[in-house]
Amino acid sequence: MTGGALARSMKAIPMSEHPLEPIFHPRGIALVGVPSEPTGQGGGGGGFLNSIMEQGYHERAGLYPVNPKATEIAGLKCYASLTDIEGPVDHVISLVPARVVPVLVEQAVAKGVRSVHFFTAGFSETGDPEMAQMERAMVKRLTDAGIRVIGPNCMGLYVPGVGLAFMGGFPTEPGNVMLISQSGANAGDVVHNLSRRGARFSKVISFGNGSDLRAHDFLDYAITDDQTEVVTAYIEGVQDGRKFFEAVKRLAAVKPTVLLKGGLTGAGARAAHSHTGSLAGSTQIFDAMCRQTGAFRAETMEDLHDITVALTTGLRRVRGRDVALVGGGGGFAVLSSDALAREGLDLPPAPQAVKDQLSEFIPVAGTSVNNPFDTNMSTPELSLRALRIVASGPYDMVIAAPSFDRSWRTGDEVVDDETKRARQLEAATQAAEQFAQLQQETGVPFIALMRDRGASVEVADRFAQEAYKRGVAVYPTVARAARAVSGLLAWRERRVGLPEVV
Amino acid sequence: MTGGALARSMKAIPMSEHPLEPIFHPRGIALVGVPSEPTGQGGGGGGFLNSIMEQGYHERAGLYPVNPKATEIAGLKCYASLTDIEGPVDHVISLVPARVVPVLVEQAVAKGVRSVHFFTAGFSETGDPEMAQMERAMVKRLTDAGIRVIGPNCMGLYVPGVGLAFMGGFPTEPGNVMLISQSGANAGDVVHNLSRRGARFSKVISFGNGSDLRAHDFLDYAITDDQTEVVTAYIEGVQDGRKFFEAVKRLAAVKPTVLLKGGLTGAGARAAHSHTGSLAGSTQIFDAMCRQTGAFRAETMEDLHDITVALTTGLRRVRGRDVALVGGGGGFAVLSSDALAREGLDLPPAPQAVKDQLSEFIPVAGTSVNNPFDTNMSTPELSLRALRIVASGPYDMVIAAPSFDRSWRTGDEVVDDETKRARQLEAATQAAEQFAQLQQETGVPFIALMRDRGASVEVADRFAQEAYKRGVAVYPTVARAARAVSGLLAWRERRVGLPEVV
């Protein structure tokens, strides 16, 4: 991203009066303990510097590596200590070992920073009482000085548009999904997977042990953050149960709030305890909490991804269970029908008018003008015509599998790989436009299935991005789309007495 | 594949005395009705010719396009009719419209072929009594002349090694999995998906309406086919219930047999009826049939893929429910523990000896020496050491997530994309070798998770191929691996009184 584009996207980010707001707008970032040869894109030390530079933060504000053994790292001036930095530093990322943390804490207080994120681990989560005490002491010293703490034992912040990230390959443009996660790895998985499907994020927070700022603080912030339209959270242990409940309740009343609780089984709870020192809860208690607050309970990480796609596309308007399924071949239609039925969705037969219109240009052999429809989608024009007729039927949604293979070669024309690639990418964009146009025109939510085997990963990704950008939900399988729809409908039914948020 | 390699792989294919054996070894193939400009890789006309040529059939035997409007197609001499072909033709693929079929049938009889595969659709599956009568008539005429019929309304045969295929991109080397499928699209999905995961096929048959040869015929053939070690089948309607039951029973007694029934829900049954004219069955009946015969009932297509991977790798030897889970980060460990527990698998804590050995070289902070293990896998040497220690514990299987990102750059070395790619591919092969070595050495089945985000699709695919080739099962998620293991264990427990087949 260029400096200009970055400045523009900065302006576009609304700022609230919430006390946590400044944390997301640091006027200078120091990375303390960054290795002199930063490598990799993950969390291990150098990844933070690389990821923040990839986001372009250093092009607009001060980015300061701190390492007494280097004078320059990745082209940036390197400082021996935090207090040596001339310019303002609002946010500190601590990559130092736990034993060095007390020194860093004093420097942070002296420098007058606003927030410290401890990637540093080895505190209360180890179960060692001495390290737990050290965690409490460092938090007290910092918060007494008005400095907020994120972590320890976490990945910290991803704020696209501002230029802050904790892993490589994250999109630079901001979006409307907030993610709050105790686990950094899970936060990374959500960002990578949902971005590939087209979603973009307002703020992502991995807060680990939650020694100061915790889930309820960020949930509270989400209520006032205009940039955030849908909130997702991965929770291991609920700290301050009452505050958590109240924050979820207030948030879920105004914005779709999706919660995934890890450690609901015995084995999961044991793993959670050794991961973030969290204590177990039960499925029943967590489920009751979601019902009472109006939050959506995701049962798996896949559920969290899939419901987020539904909640941030035209699919959020789906009102009933009647599906029109188009394309994919006979055997696919049979298994898909089974998958829809298992989620309580229906495939009502096509009205005569729909069948008549489709029969006008669809050969009978090997195709079907009933629901599931197996129509001739061999050209963009035929596809548009068929889908438009189908959507005129009494359906609450249309699930269709686009093909991008159709337009890359005409007759016996010989095309080179680059031409084929360009044409397939064009076809993917065209298909996305077509779905969006039909969804807009008919008011019926469209769900696109990404199952064209002839398409490369690049073409499939292009389609997902272009479709999502235009408000069309894309799913890898009918079963997953069906589960998302059925979950969304059930969640809406449960929210009696609450305002409609989608 | 070169002609020489093809001839070698041909020799490797054992031949039985079974009456269907010759169908899989045609000494000449005619494609009747192939378009003069064959395009695409799918089923639509030209795809068959392209796919068979991709397999190299024409380099070793006669491949004859038949189309009165052309003299040459794709570099092959084209014939005006089947009877014009000079050389022997054992197998005919009919791409002509249904109305032309009677003419083709007479030519096939006159030419004395062994088998006709009708890609041609529009017969009994349309519900039109006249077309159903036409189907019966053509089958009678052909079978009376000793010619076997595959289809109509299907994709026919994929016999790698012989050079016969019905879609592009299928592997040319043969394997040990047979697939029998009414649906051609589903057969294509299975071949594409399972080959990407490393599996290879002995024979794949899409038989559509099953007007002559049906599921039970091919199941019967599978019993005697030495090349086939595991049989998978996608069934819509069971024709000849008694014969089907008996064939499954005899087969499942000697080889793992995986059945997926489409159309078990009301909507699925309606779709199946319009697809292959099949009548519905119920889940209860089909489930009882599987229990009585000892077949494995896959509930979804994903199940069919996942259990086939388990049955054809070292994982088939898994004997209990105790899992060691290694790597992936804390939050991943929590959700994975939940996923394992939901499938009834356990994560027993590590014995002190294992913890002590791991602690020798694993830092405490941010890692875990208990189960789930979150160990230092930053180099191949550390990874091998850690996994070997883990596998020495009381576990029935080890599930581990390899990383390929580690070895592509040393320190601040700048490498170009091609070098990075080559090193990652090398790392993928090395990781596969390591898993296979440990599985062999310890006798504990290893399950590799394919979740390295840093890896390109090419690298991930390479890993899957190299791991599977060496007998290591690869799964995309812990949940799917857990479901496959739990399914396999339950299936084995149900097979009381039957010989062990894995």
CA angle A358–A363–A369, rounded 5-degree value: 40
Q: Which of A310, A340, A362 is the last residue of a domain?
A: A310
Q: Is B452 a domain residue?
A: yes
| Residue of A39, A120, A335 to mutate for B, most B C-beta atoms under 10 A | A335
Yes or no, beta carbons of B338 and A265 under 8 Å apart: yes
Task: Please indicate, yes or no, whether residues B122 and B184 belong to a single structural domain of this protein.
Answer: yes
Question: For B144, which DSSP code?
Answer: H
Q: Is A39 a domain residue?
A: yes
Length in residues, chain B? 502
Yes or no, beta carbons of A264 and B122 under 8 Å apart: no
Give the SS3 label for residue B247.
helix
Identify residue A307 by its one-letter amino acid code. I
How many angstroms away from the CA of B306 is the closest CA of chain A?
16
Yes or no, beta carbons of B331 and A121 under 8 Å apart: no
Q: Which residue of A has its CA nearest to B322?
A: A267
Q: Is A217 a domain residue?
A: yes
Cβ–Cβ < 8 Å for B152, B209: yes
Task: Please indicate, yes or no, whether residues B123 and B138 belong to a single structural domain of this protein.
Answer: yes
Residue from B10, B147, B156 nearest B82 by CA:
B147
> How far apart are alpha carbons B214 and B262 in whole angstroms?
16
Model confidence pLDDT, tens digit, residues B410-420? 655 677 888 88
pLDDT of residue A328: 75
pLDDT-derived band at B408 (thresholds 50, 70, 90) equals: low
pLDDT-derived band at B40 (thresholds 50, 70, 90) equals: low
Task: Please indicate, yes or no, whether residues A304 and A323 belong to a single structural domain of this protein.
Answer: no
Judged by a CB distance cut-off of 8 A, whether residue B274 touches chain A is yes
How many angstroms away from the CA of A222 is the closest CA of chain B?
22
Closest partner CB to A122 (pick from B181, B333, B365): B365
pLDDT of residue B45: 59
pLDDT-derived band at A364 (thresholds 50, 70, 90) equals: low
Q: Is the per-residue pLDDT at A454 higher than 80?
A: no
B 207-266: CB under 8 A from A? 234, 236, 262-266
Instruction: Count CB pairs under 8 A between chains A and B.
Output: 197
Chain B residues with CB under 8 Å of A265 CB are: 337-338, 341-342
For B447, the token pair is: 């399950």
How many angstroms away from the CA of B447 is the closest CA of chain A?
19
Q: Is the per-residue pLDDT at A120 higher than 90?
A: yes
- Top-confidence range, A403-417, B212-226, B445-459: B212-226
Range A239-243 average pLDDT: 89
| Strand order across the beta sheet in which B156-158 lies | B156-158, B201-206, B177-181, B230-235, B257-261, B296-298
Task: Please indicate, yes or no, whether residues A327 and A261 belong to a single structural domain of this protein.
Answer: no
Q: Which residue of A has its CA nearest to B456?
A: A457
Task: Please indicate, yes or no, whether residues A127 and A201 belong to a single structural domain of this protein.
Answer: yes
pLDDT of residue B39: 62
Count of C-beta atoms within a 10 Å radius of residue B7? 12
How many angstroms away from the CA of A40 is the closest CA of chain B?
8
Q: Is A445 a domain residue?
A: yes
CA angle A261–B365–B463, rounded 5-degree value: 70
Yes or no, beta carbons of B263 and A338 under 8 Å apart: yes
The reported pTM is 0.91
Task: Please indicate, yes or no, whether residues A488 and A361 belong to a single structural domain of this protein.
Answer: yes
Q: What is the dihedral sign for C-alpha A421, A427, A429, A435?
A: negative
Task: Please indicate, yes or no, whether residues A257 and A376 belong to a single structural domain of this protein.
Answer: no
Report DSSP letters for A150-182, one per residue. Answer: E-SSS-EEEBTTTTB-SSTT--SS--SEEEEES
Q: Which of A255, A288, A310 is the last residue of a domain?
A: A310
Give the SS3 label for residue A43.
coil
How many angstroms away from the CA of A428 is the closest CA of chain B?
17
Range of the domain at A335: 317-492
Judged by a CB distance cut-off of 8 A, whether residue B282 touches chain A is no
Model confidence pLDDT, tens digit, residues A87-111? 999 999 999 999 999 999 999 999 9
Q: Is the per-residue pLDDT at A244 higher than 90?
A: yes
Chain A residues with CB under 8 Å of B189 CB are: 332, 453
Q: Which residue of B has its CA nearest to A122?
A: B365
Task: Please indicate, yes or no, whether residues A426 and A285 belong to a single structural domain of this protein.
Answer: no
ipTM for the predicted complex? 0.88
Yes or no, beta carbons of A338 and B262 under 8 Å apart: yes
Chain B residues with CB under 8 Å of A342 CB are: 265
Cβ–Cβ < 8 Å for B150, B213: yes
Judged by a CB distance cut-off of 8 A, whether residue B279 touches chain A is no
Q: Is A44 a domain residue?
A: yes
Q: Which residue of A has its CA nearest to B235?
A: A331
> How far apart are alpha carbons B498 and A272 in whole angstroms?
42
Chain A residues with CB under 8 Å of B153 CB are: 366
The torsion of the CA quartet B313, B314, B316, B318, rounded to 10 degrees, works out to: -150
How many angstroms away from the CA of A16 is the closest CA of chain B?
31
Model confidence pLDDT, tens digit, residues B60-114? 999 999 999 999 999 999 999 999 999 999 999 999 999 999 999 999 999 999 9
Model confidence pLDDT, tens digit, residues A378-434? 778 888 999 999 999 999 999 998 877 655 556 556 778 888 888 889 989 999 999
Task: Please indicate, yes or no, whether residues B357 and B426 belong to a single structural domain of this protein.
Answer: yes
CATH at A454: 3.40.50.261
Task: Please indicate, yes or no, whether residues A130 and A244 belong to a single structural domain of this protein.
Answer: yes
Q: Which residue of A has its CA nearest to B152?
A: A366
Q: Is B502 a domain residue?
A: no
The total of structural domains in chain A comes to: 2
Chain B residues with CB under 8 Å of A368 CB are: 274-275
CA angle A234–A240–A244, rounded 5-degree value: 50
Yes or no, beta carbons of B186 and A335 under 8 Å apart: yes
Least confident stretch, B38-42, B86-90, B220-224, B413-417 = B38-42
Task: Please indicate, yes or no, whether residues B240 and B355 belong to a single structural domain of this protein.
Answer: no
Q: Which residue of A has its CA nearest to B337?
A: A268
Q: Is the per-residue pLDDT at B7 higher than 80?
A: no
Chain B residues with CB under 8 Å of A411 CB are: 37, 39
Task: Please indicate, yes or no, whether residues A322 and A299 belong to a single structural domain of this protein.
Answer: no
Q: Is B497 a domain residue?
A: no
Q: Which of A272, A289, A310 is the last residue of a domain?
A: A310
Judged by a CB distance cut-off of 8 A, whether residue B157 touches chain A is no
Chain B residues with CB under 8 Å of A126 CB are: 364-365
Q: Is A253 a domain residue?
A: yes
Least confident stretch, A110-119, A156-165, A264-273, B373-382 = B373-382
Chain B residues with CB under 8 Å of A280 CB are: none
How many angstroms away from the CA of A181 is the closest CA of chain B?
9
Q: What is the dihedral sign for C-alpha B362, B363, B365, B366?
A: negative
Chain A residues with CB under 8 Å of B334 CB are: 183, 236, 262-263, 268, 271-272, 275
